[in-house]
Amino acid sequence: MVTINIDGQKLEAKEEQTILEVARENGIYIPTLCYNENLAPYGACRLCSVEISKGGRSRIVASCLYPVEEGLEVKTNSPRVVSNRRMIMELLLARCSQNEVIKRLASEMGVEQPPFRPEYWEDEDCILCGLCVRTCEEIVGRSAISLVNRGVNREVAPPFLEPSADCIGCGACAYVCPTGAIKMDDKDGTRVVYASNWKKEFKLKKCKVCGNYWAPEEQLEYIRKKLNLPADFFDVCPNCK
């Protein structure tokens, strides 16, 4: 166990913890976008940046990744932190100038519009946080989509921008997306999982008992094979079982 100091508060922490984990445990707010406690921290959005000092020297680090150590002093709202956070938000807003989630988050931080010329504002929804990709890889285990290209051309996409053979339509990516860049619609026995540059359609399985469509056949088939379940295992939906 180590003792650290966040915003003047002395807190106990386990040695393997990050600043963000300790802050959250103790109800101290640090904004994040690319963080999810079920996934390994990624450090892409940099919104969680905080100011640390140890032995007189201070610097800015990503709290989702920085490991705690004895005597660490953390400031989550110093002027330096606030101005950095603001600029990151301005950069995100310039990229996603019409996205409601980003607009609201920016507004909460006092950012009403990006400081750049309006003709350069973009209309993206995806902030390239990678939550969808990492979820598909780490939790679902399919790696159907990935981050492709480099730099300003980076985007989330299935291979060759074609419906991925590895995608089972579970919708976890849509669920975890913070900005609604990936959506999922179920209608008339068909599920569509889609983003601005790709989509895949799935036939939904119909329950033999109640007649409701409840999950993509591909997804159920994947689970059935993985757990070695009998062929008719998913013919009846969980509600009717």
Partner 1 sequence: MLQKLKSKRDVENLRKKIVAKREEGKPLVTVCNGTGCHASGSVAVIEAFRQEIGRQELADKVAIKATGCHGFCERGPIVVIQPGDIFYQQVKVDDMPQIVAETIIQGNVIDRLLYVDPATGKKYVHPSEVPFYRSQRRIVFGNNGEIAPDNIEDYIALGGYSALAKVLFDKSPEQVIEEVKKSGLRGRGGGGFPAGRKWESCRNAPGEPKYVIANCDEGDPGVYANRSLLEGNPHSVLEGLLIAAYAIGSHEGYIYVRNEYPLAVENATIAIKQAEESGFLGKNILGSGFDFIVHINRGGGAFVCGESTALMASLEGRVGEPRAKYVHTAEKGLWDKPSNLNNVETLANVPLIINKGADWFTAIGTEGSKGTKIFSLVGKVNNTGLVEVPMGMTLREVIYDIGGGIKEGKRFKGVQTGGPSGGVIPESMLDMPVDFDELTKAGSMMGSGGMIVMDEDTCMVDTARYFLTFLEEESCGKCVPCREGIKRMRQILDDITEGKGEESDIELLERISATLKDTSLCALGATAANPVLTTLHYFRDEYEAHIKDKRCPAGVCKALIQYYIIDEKCVGCRLCEKACPVEAITFMGKKKPVVLDQSKCIKCGICKDVCNLGAVGVK
Partner 2 sequence: MHKKVAAIINKYDADKGQLISILQDIQAEFHYLRKKDLTQVSDTMGVPLSQVYSVATFFKAFTLKPRGKHLVNVCLGTACHVRGASKVLEQIERSLKVSRGETTSDLKFTLETVNCMGCCALGPVVKIDDEYFGEMNAGKVDSLLAQY
DSSP 8-class letter at 239? T
- Report the run of H or E that residue 102 belongs to, with start and end: helix 100-108
42 binds partner 2 (CB under 8 A): no
Overall residue count recorded for the chain in this entry: 241
153 binds partner 1 (CB under 8 A): yes
DSSP-based three-state secondary structure for 186:
strand
- Give the angle subtended at the CA of 28 by the CAs of 23 and 34, to the nearest 5°: 65
Q: Which of 4, 11, 22, 61 binds partner 1 (CB under 8 A)?
A: 61
The structure tokens 């996409």 sit at 157
144 binds partner 2 (CB under 8 A): yes
Is the dihedral angle over the CA atoms 109, 110, 114, 115 positive or is it negative?
A: negative
Q: Shortest Cβ distance from residue 89 to partner 1 (Å)?
A: 9
226 binds partner 2 (CB under 8 A): no
Q: Which of 84, 113, 143, 196 binds partner 1 (CB under 8 A)?
A: 84
Q: Measure the CA–CA gap between 166 and 150, rounded to whole angstroms.
A: 23
160 binds partner 2 (CB under 8 A): yes
166 binds partner 2 (CB under 8 A): yes
DSSP-based three-state secondary structure for 20:
helix
Q: Which of 93, 148, 153 is nearest to 125 (CA)?
A: 93
- Report the run of H or E that residue 191 belongs to, with start and end: strand 190-194
Sheet holding 183-187, edge to edge: 183-187, 190-194, 199-206, 213-216
- The H helix count followed by the E strand count for the chain is 6, 11
115 binds, among partner 2, partner 1, none (CB under 5 to 8 A by kind): partner 1
Of residues 79 and 238, the one with the C-beta less far from partner 1: 79
- Strand-pairing partners, residue 213, are 206
Stretch that binds partner 1, among 24-32, 114-122, 156-164, 214-222 (CB under 8 A): 114-122
Q: Which of 146, 174, 184, 199 binds partner 2 (CB under 8 A)?
A: 146
Q: Shortest Cβ distance from residue 91 to partner 1 (Å)?
A: 4
Q: Which of 1, 110, 149, 231 binds partner 1 (CB under 8 A)?
A: 149
Stretch that binds partner 1, among 85-93, 102-110, 175-183, 226-234 (CB under 8 A): 85-93
Q: Which of 143, 184, 224, 236 binds partner 2 (CB under 8 A)?
A: 143
142 φ, ψ (degrees, to nearest 5): -105, -25
Of residues 151 and 211, the one with the C-beta less far from partner 2: 151
Q: Which residues make up the interface to partner 2 (CB under 8 A)? A: 137, 142-150, 158-160, 164-166
Q: Which residues make up the interface to partner 1 (CB under 8 A)? A: 43-47, 49, 59-62, 65-67, 80, 83-84, 87-88, 91-92, 94-95, 115-117, 120, 127-128, 130, 147, 149-154
